[in-house]
Structure 1
Amino acid sequence: MKKSTLAALALCIGLGGCATASKDVPTTYMSPKLFETYNCAQLSSELQRISTRVVQLGGRLDKAASNDKALTGVGVILFWPALLHLGGTKVPEANYARLKGEFDAVQQSLNIKQCPAEAIVAAK
C-alpha cells in the first residue's frame, strides 16, 4: 500500500499536474510603450477592464488549485487514478501572467503621463 501511495504521489508531482494558485503565477513583463497612444481616460478604462479580467481569471485559477489539492488527497489515500485529472491550467496561467503584466504596464503609463490620481483610483 505504501509503495502505491508513493508512486501515485510521484506521478502527480512528476507530471506537474497540480494547478497553480493565482498568487504563485509570475507576472509576464509588458512594456508601457504598448499604451503610449492612450490618453488618461483610455488608460483608466483599460485598467478597469484588465482588473476585472484579473479578478475573474485569478478566481478560476485559485479554485482549480484548491480542487487539485482536494483531488490529490483523495487520490493518494483512496483512488490513485484520480490523480490523472489534475492540472490542465497552463493556458489560463499564461493568460493570467500576461494580464498581470498588462495591468502593470497600464499603471506605469498612467504614471508616465502624469494622469490625475482620480483616473488611477477609479480603476481599482
Structure 2
Amino acid sequence: MNLEPKRIGTILIALAFLSGCATAGKDVTATYVSPTQYSNYDCDQIRSEMGRLGGRVNELTGRLDQAATNDKAILVGGGLLFWPALFALGGTKQQEAELGRLKGEFEALQSAATQKKCS
C-alpha cells in the first residue's frame, strides 16, 4: 500500500485524537465519595481536611491544565511540522483519576460540613 505523506499525516493526527490528549483539570468529573466516612469528624477536622485536599486539587489541576496545553501545542506542531511528536501526547490518566477522587472527597467533606452546620 503506497500512501502519500499528506494522507499519512492525516491518519497520524486522527490516531493522536483517538489515543487521548490530557484532560484539563476543570473537565475532570468528581468520583462519588460517601460523606458518611467523615461523620466522626468535627468542624475543625473537616476544615483542615478540606484545606489539605484543596491544595492537592489545585496542584493536580495546574499539572493537567499544563499537560492539556502542551498536548494541543504538540498536536498542532506535530501535525504540521514533525509528526513523530504526536507520540508524546497524553499519559496523565493516573492524575486524572486521582483528581476525580479528590474532587469527590472534597464534595463529601462539603456535604458533611453542611450536615454538621459548620460555618
Query: Who is 1:23 aligned against?
Result: 26
Instruction: Please list the CA deviations of residues 35-86 of structure 1 after superposition, one character each: whole Å capped at 9, or x if unmatched.
Output: 1111110001001101111001100000000000000011100111111110
TM-score, normalization by structure 2: 0.93
Once residues 11 and 104 of structure 1 are traced to their aligned partners in structure 2, the CA distance between those partners, rounded to angstroms, is 36
RMSD between aligned alpha carbons? 0.8
Query: Who is 1:91 aligned against?
Result: 94
Q: How many residues align?
A: 115
Give 4+ residue runs of structure 1 displaced > 2 Å after superposition: none
TM-score, normalization by structure 1: 0.89
Query: Who is 1:122 aligned against?
Result: none
Q: How far apart are 1:11 and its partner, in Å?
A: 1.3
Instruction: Please list the CA deviations of residues 97-118 of structure 1 after superposition, one character each: whole Å capped at 9, or x if unmatched.
Output: 0000000000000000111x2x
Output aligned runs, 1:11-90, within 5 Å.
11-16=15-20, 18-90=21-93
Q: How far apart are 1:5 and its partner, in Å?
A: 2.1
Percent identity of the aligned residues? 50
Structure 2, unaligned stretches of length 5 or more?
none
Structure 1, unaligned stretches of length 5 or more?
118-124
Question: What amino acid does structure 2 have at the position aligned with 1:108?
Answer: S
Question: What amino acid does structure 1 have at the position aligned with 2:105?
Answer: E
